[in-house]
Amino acid sequence: MELLYIWIEDYKNIHKQGFNFSPKHHFEFIPENNGNNKKKEITGGELIHNEKKDYRLPDNFFGDSIVNITGIVGKNGSGKSSLLEFLTKLVKNYNLLHFVIIKENSEIIILHHENIIINTSFKKIVLRNENGYENEKLPKSEIAVIYLSNTFNPYDFFNPKSIYTSSKDVSLNYKLTEIQEKNKTKSHYSIIQEYWFQNLESINNFLDKKEYSDKITKILGTENGIKNITISSNIYILNINLRIGTSMISNEIYRKIYTYSEHTQLILRLIYLFFILSFEIKVNSIFNNLNPNNNTYSKKKQIRNLLTDIRDLFNSIKDNTFEEKKKELEILIKEDSRLLTDYFEYINDVYDLINNKTATYEMLLKNSKKLFEENNLNTFSEMLDIVKSIPSNEIVFNDISDDNINFKVPRKYFTKIIKIYKKSLTYNTEINNYLNFGWRLSSGELAFVNLFARLSEAKEQIDKEVKEKQIKTETYLILIDEIDLYLHPEWSKQNIYLLTEVLPIIFDKKPVQIIITAHSPFIVSDLPKEHIIFLDRDKNGNCIVIPEIEQKETFGANIHTLFTNSFFMNDGLIGKFAEEKIQSVIDYLNEKENTEIKNIYEAQAIINIIGEPILKNQLQKMLKYKIENTNKTDIISLKKQMKEIQEKINLLEDDKK
């Protein structure tokens, strides 16, 4: 099944406009009369169909399973995103006047709102009311719609509904809305955090499938970026209550840590990181449990002084003042000993470890886990167990330095680690993200992996629903808004190629129709003009379609030509700032008044930095001409002055006689 055409009566800046999505068929709806209905405007008209039997390209031009790719380009604000949004509503929405033309096998079918009367011989199915189309006449198979966009508009949320049942919105807007709805009872759990987690898990699940990871590896040219997950953290923790940071750890402790293997160093540094976090939680607990009275301020001040003493305790751990300071602190915190005394045991273990006394690494690990568990911080203990269980030869140590933890582990451990990490943030609302996860990929590489992961996830969800509802789905309609958003031109060049290479694998070689909006000339250069919808704005700002016959060939065309023709940049391809500076030089050379350029030196300075050679040479000639004319004028003026002076001299000499 394939989408061929859609007519939109009125949506945002789209009014009475039709759009063709097939290079083999061209439809034109000509409205003939408008009647008035208090609820809806009734539109009648004739549908003209032209089958392009001379279409030049083979059916498998984009690959065996890519039915068609349509690019939507045009002026800013011409309605590209609005058109794509409307397509997500394909359309069980009785409030929107429209009709859609699809092709199932060799049959052309029109699905239309009952208030649009179409004069045609094609089979018609009517949207009678809010309950949908005349189901008994619907085709046996469905188009599954997937919509993806990375643009965010807090005022425009929508839930797509296809002509039938199968549709998924994996746009940024919808994902954030969905997370917000699910997390209403968890206000402490950040929506952005959850979106981040979902993206990580989606990418990991995608790469776990061998056929996907093999294809991505081939495209990227290396598997290093996707083989492992990178985990990092900065040990420096600064909190409004704590204010102690890495000064809590002395050089003596660092020197001792370096004597162990890298794997043990990693565990020791994670222990320290978790100790800092747990101590922060405990201090917050003290503050939160203080009774709000006149003594609250002095109490907080006393606790802050206590924290300073603990910091000093760490820094003095190498000398003999440890026991003395410990006793002083125990006296200070007698009232809150139930909250902090167990931390002295930890400090004592570190002290013994540094001074080669009774404590060992294993004992420190055991007592640290006990400390975390007794303070309801089991997730820290669980995280230590997972990292400790990973064989050291499977861990890549990027940076285990004084202040940083940065290492890579195979993706197979990621699910367990992220599950525990999310649990730690859920149960301990006082702490924010203390670990970072990611892949060693460029932003462009990651953007593509993320795009394919989200499409794969949507496909799996649709397939599950289709199976449960016993619906037959033969074609996937993929809608991607601003596919080139955030991409470096090098990656923008590969957009169409990557879609044709990866999507057949994700969608099991089932028919896929792709419609994208873009601003990149590289995407236009990968599509024949028959596969592009060119949009412009009329004088009222409404969307209009420029017929393809008015467009030059786009496939493999020059980028500068595409910028001018496909994106209607009739004002040239020079940046506005440069354009204004160059214009000021031209105005000066043409001797206009009140120009920004005041003299030939300023004009020459700007001409020197112009990169376009023809323009630069022309302006240089104009400046040379101006200088020469100025010199001639100056010579004439000087000669005139000399003549006047000589005449005055002659008069003076005559007077002397």
Q: How far is residue 202's CA from residue 452's CA, in Å, rounded to a whole number?
A: 10
Strand ranges of the sheet holding 107-113, from the earlier edge strand across to the other edge: 14-20, 2-11, 98-104, 107-113, 123-129, 132-133
Nearby residues of 648 by Cβ (< 8 Å), 6 or more positions away: none
Residue type, 122: F
Segment 200-206 mean pLDDT: 91
Residue type, 408: K
What's the full length of the chain, in residues?
Answer: 657
Span 31-50, pLDDT tens digits? 886 555 444 567 789 999 99
Q: How far is residue 605's CA from residue 236's CA, in Å, rounded to a whole number?
A: 49
Following DSSP, what letter does each residue of 306-336 receive, concatenated?
HHHHHHHHHHTTTSTTHHHHHHHHHHHTGGG
What is the overall mean pLDDT for the chain? 79
Token couple for 478 = 């993929």
Strand-pair category, 42-51 with 116-119: parallel
The answer, yes or no, to whether residue 376 has pLDDT greater than 60, is yes
Query: How buried is 90 (Cβ within 10 angstroms: 0-12 exposed, 13-18 middle, 19+ buried)?
Result: buried
The answer, yes or no, to whether residue 91 has pLDDT greater than 50, is no
The answer, yes or no, to whether residue 242 has pLDDT greater than 50, is no
Q: Count H helices, E strands: the chain?
A: 21, 20
pLDDT at 291: 60
Following DSSP, what letter does each residue of 98-139 receive, concatenated?
EEEEEEETTEEEEEEETTEEEE-SSEEEEEEETTEE-GGGS-
Question: DSSP alpha helices (H): ranges in 395-515?
Answer: 414-427, 443-469, 489-492, 495-506
Dihedral over alpha carbons 517, 523, 529, 535 (to 10 degrees): 30
* Torsion angles phi and psi, residue 611, rounded to 5: -90, -20
pLDDT at 404: 73
pLDDT at 128: 67
Dihedral over alpha carbons 200, 201, 207, 211 (to 10 degrees): -140
Q: How far is residue 535's CA from residue 19's CA, in Å, rounded to a whole number?
A: 10
pLDDT at 308: 65
Span 112-137, pLDDT tens digits? 888 888 999 898 888 766 555 555 55
Q: Max Cα separation, the chain?
A: 127
Strand ranges of the sheet holding 141-149, from the earlier edge strand across to the other edge: 167-169, 141-149, 472-481, 512-517, 66-74, 532-537, 543-546
Q: How far is residue 418's CA from residue 200's CA, in Å, rounded to a whole number?
A: 9
Q: How far is residue 513's CA from residue 523's CA, in Å, rounded to a whole number?
A: 16
- What share of the chain in percent tops pLDDT 70? 73
Q: Which helix (H) or strand (E) holds 175?
A: helix 172-182
DSSP 8-state class, residue 222: -
Q: How far is residue 594's CA from residue 642's CA, in Å, rounded to a whole number?
A: 32
Q: How far is residue 79's CA from residue 541's CA, in Å, rounded to a whole number?
A: 9
CA atoms in the 13 A half-sphere facing the CB of 473 = 30
Query: How buried is 415 (Cβ within 10 angstroms: 0-12 exposed, 13-18 middle, 19+ buried)?
Result: middle
- For the entire predicted model, the pTM comes to 0.80
Evaluated on CA atoms 42, 46, 51, 55, the torsion sign reads negative
Following DSSP, what letter does each residue of 348-406 receive, concatenated?
HHHHHHHTTSS--HHHHHHHHHHHHHHTT-HHHHHHHHHHHHS-GGG-EEEEE-SSEEE
Confidence class of residue 241 from pLDDT cuts 50, 70 and 90? very low
Lowest mean pLDDT among 19-23, 233-237, 288-292, 470-474: 233-237
CB atoms within 10 A of CB 641: 10
Of 87, 96, 78, 70, the closest CA to residue 162 belongs to 87
Quick one: how far is CA 102 from the chain centroid? 32
Query: Which residue would you say has higher pLDDT here, 657 or 455?
Result: 455
Query: Which residue would you say has higher pLDDT here, 568 or 557?
Result: 557
Contact, 353 vs 361, CB < 8 A?
yes
Span 295-315, pLDDT tens digits? 666 666 666 666 666 656 655
The answer, yes or no, to whether residue 184 has pLDDT greater than 70, is no
Token couple for 194 = 């959850």
Unique residue bearing structure tokens 């409404």: 542
* Torsion angles phi and psi, residue 65, rounded to 5: -105, -5
Q: Where are the beta strands (DSSP E) in 509-561?
A: 512-517, 532-537, 543-546
The answer, yes or no, to whether residue 139 has pLDDT greater than 80, is no
Token couple for 179 = 């997370």
Query: Which residue would you say has higher pLDDT here, 578 or 353?
Result: 578
